[in-house]
Amino acid sequence: MSEPNVAARLHAPGDIRVAPEAVASPAPDDVLLRVAAVGLCGSDLHWFDEGGIGEAHVLRPAILGHEFSGVIVDGPRAGERVVGDPLDACERCEWCLAGRENLCHAARFAGFGETDGALRTLMPWPGRLLHRLPDAIEIDEAALLEPLGVALHALDLGDVPPGGEVGVYGCGPIGLMLVGLLRRSGASVVVATDRMAHRVAAARAMGATHAFIAPGRPATPDVEADGDGRQRRVDVAFETGGDDALDDAIAAVRPGGRVVLVGIPDGDRTTFRAAGARRKELSLQLCRRMLPGDLTRAIELVASGGFDLSGLITHRVPIAEAADAFAIASARRGLKVIVRPSVA
């Protein structure tokens, strides 16, 4: 392969370096992908800010990025536009055989641990995990299909009753996707809160019936303070913003209700006030990645016009400026930051 390859590697917390390097050797079932777009996820920011997630830490310079799209450059599918599934499960363990590959302990995951991700120009990846993109989906927007799949899985875990009242606490990209999916699925009330005014405004644009600055944060001229939002009780609450958001979710959900924890906590620890959750006898449901079929559902939903991803992308950055892209995302400026490895 004579085509040049450039990669952005994380050497230590806050230390992203971009440099040319050889194309990684493909495994027998890999095809070579020219990566077009990579979305920066909250989990990428844990690697960038903290140097790891949970028990996994940066032990060598690592390529992050698991939300990716691109064009296959070799083999019979050459020229095909695709979106990648970042989870390469073993397909043999009890969890895989039960259809819960997201719980596979032997899985590789792009941009996690020893498995390099998509922040590079050319990426070998198993062909079975590269899904063809319909013409209706733009290549940059395709990088948001994986987090949309996660949002669909979280929605399923929430088991929202028909016409239910729901809260989303934390309005980063997945929280905003949940707002849109909840309204599409028929929730009668969707309360959304965040500490940042631009995210609250985005939640309102995605269809939230009540969108507020999170309790204890100052309002701005164009975004309401908490007002009666904190008093409104919901049937199901989704936490997508850390411990403060979880406290708000627990306070808002009705007795006997359900709280779905979608976010990855700082420092690998989630804390909350026990009394309120215990007295309400709440169910706490944790969410991990997505299930098989959720990415296909996301593709079909967007291709049919049932969900618009375009408004979530606020920054498009060439890979040469990957360090700036991480700084933008880490500061929570805008919404979704896209890195373009194939753009000079």
- Joined tokens for residue 194: 């965040």
Which range is least confidently modeled, 18-32, 140-154, 206-220, 311-325? Answer: 206-220
Q: At residue 344, does pLDDT exceed 90?
A: no
Rg of the chain taking only CA atoms, in angstroms: 20
State the chain's maximal CA–CA distance in angstroms: 64
pLDDT at position 244 is 86
Across 201-224, average pLDDT? 74
d(CA 193, CA 241): 10
Residue intervals of the chain classified under CATH 3.90.180.10 are: 6-144+309-340
CATH code of domain 6-144+309-340: 3.90.180.10
How many Cα atoms occupy the beta-carbon half-sphere of 176 within 13 Å?
25
Cβ 164 vs Cβ 236: under 8 Å = yes
- Residue 99 burial by Cβ neighbours in a 10 Å radius (0-12, 13-18, 19+): exposed
pLDDT band, residue 54 (cuts 50/70/90): low
Cβ 249 vs Cβ 259: under 8 Å = yes
CATH code of domain 148-286: 3.40.50.720
The pLDDT tens digits of the residues spanning 251-302 come to 899 999 999 999 877 777 888 888 888 888 898 999 999 998 999 999 999 9
Residue intervals of the chain classified under CATH 3.40.50.720 are: 148-286
pLDDT band, residue 335 (cuts 50/70/90): very high
Q: At residue 124, does pLDDT exceed 80?
A: yes
Cβ 239 vs Cβ 249: under 8 Å = yes
Q: At residue 231, does pLDDT exceed 60?
A: no
Residue 108, helix vs strand vs coil: strand
pLDDT at position 276 is 84
- Joined tokens for residue 20: 């040319």
pLDDT at position 83 is 98
pLDDT at position 225 is 47
Q: What average pLDDT does the structure give for the chain?
A: 89
Across 239-254, average pLDDT? 88
